[in-house]
Amino acid sequence: MSQDRECRAAVVACRPSACARCERLPIDEPRAGDLYCWFPAPHVAGKAAAVFRRFGIRPRQTVADGVAYRFSERESEPIAEALEQALSQIERDDTRALLCAEGVAPSPTDLARVEPLSRLVMRVRSGWLLGVLADERLVTHFQPIVHAASPDAVYGHEALLRGESPTGDLIPPGRLFETARGAGLLFQLDLAARRAAIAGAARHGLPGALFVNFAPTAIYDPASCLRTTVAAIDAAGIAREQVVFEIVETERAHDPTHLRRILDYYRGAGFRVALDDVGSGYSSLNLIHLLRPDILKLDMELVRNVHADPYKARIAANLLDVANALGIEALAEGIETEEELAWVQAHGATYAQGYLIARPSAAPSAQLAGAGT
């Protein structure tokens, strides 16, 4: 067993029971058999029927005006791909579906598994992601965050998720999260990503602050969904004040009260909180006064060429002024040029992050070679 697996095993051994949605992988759910569908309109049913006819499959009537199609595991992925091409996103979203093992009639308990056809289609096509999660083939890379005034002095690292294929190739985070979101696996992936970050930080004896991303839409109730994360941090021997939880995808979170509960839970447990992508839209700007984060991260698109764009410069300068006036630390991310670094230094950024300073790597850095000095 590798040292990373030992860290994970120690975390698993002492963590409390948690939200079943976050913990359970749907690996036991059928990927073929009898697909029960309830379509929103006759023309949608007709398009789906045409797909199945191409595979020589005829529908049969079921209860409540639904239809059922039987197909094999060999046919499951081609059919899922064909349905994705034939039906629009809204048609797949509005079609209700239930996949049961062949010859097994739906029971009352199966009603809880009825879901949008779009999600079922994505899950059928996401077997590779289930394999990544089941085999714990997640790795963490660390990107340094430095003091803006002294770019060779490391303040901490952001933990960035990568997947690993069976052949050892890295899977980018965008593909992981896009597939997880569509397949209804975001809860499981977000939790696994937090655990991988904690295990990786513990294995490397990470110096300074550890920034751990989390998606608020992957958390139902903070007390249930986050206590295993807190237990993992304690089990790894990482001081709570060293950890900064970074809120990502705020544009998908439509309940500020829920966000505030999450932040209150983390702060009450002794952690700090960062708000990501500030300046990328109205939602993140409006959340500053609602959430009152400890750290603001200026969106990288706002930082890009900020020295040469008066519109970006005015917006970024105002955000930095607000942060400094309120006692919030500001982190400028996405810095790729000396000019961008010089601009954020001159306008009061507390921390800086970006390819100019250092790219993500498998091991954290204790010291850098003096970027921007």
pLDDT tens series, the chain, 373 aa: 345 544 444 444 444 444 556 677 877 778 889 999 999 999 999 999 999 999 999 998 777 788 999 999 999 999 999 999 999 999 999 999 999 989 888 888 888 889 999 999 998 888 899 999 999 999 999 999 999 999 999 999 999 999 999 999 999 999 999 999 888 898 899 999 999 999 999 999 998 999 999 888 777 777 777 888 899 999 999 999 999 999 887 656 667 788 888 888 889 999 999 988 786 665 567 778 888 899 999 999 999 999 999 999 999 999 999 999 999 999 999 999 999 999 999 999 999 999 999 999 998 877 665 554 4
Quickly name the fold that domain 3-24+138-352 has: TIM Barrel (3.20.20)
Instruction: Specify whether domain 28-129 bears CATH 3.30.70.
Output: yes
Distance CA 75, CA 201 (A): 42
Does the pTM surpass 0.85? The reply is no
What SS3 state is found at 99?
A: strand
Euclidean distance between CA atoms 62 and 98, whole angstroms: 12
Of 303, 366, 371, 369, whose CA–CA distance to 156 is shortest? 366
Largest alpha-carbon pair distance within the chain?
Answer: 72
Beta bridge partners of 159: 142
**Order of strands across the sheet with 60-61?**
60-61, 67-71, 33-38, 96-100, 115-116
Burial of 368 (0-12, 13-18, 19+ CB in 10 A): middle
Q: Where are the domains of the chain?
A: 3-24+138-352, 28-129
- Whether 3-24+138-352 and 28-129 share one fold: the answer is no
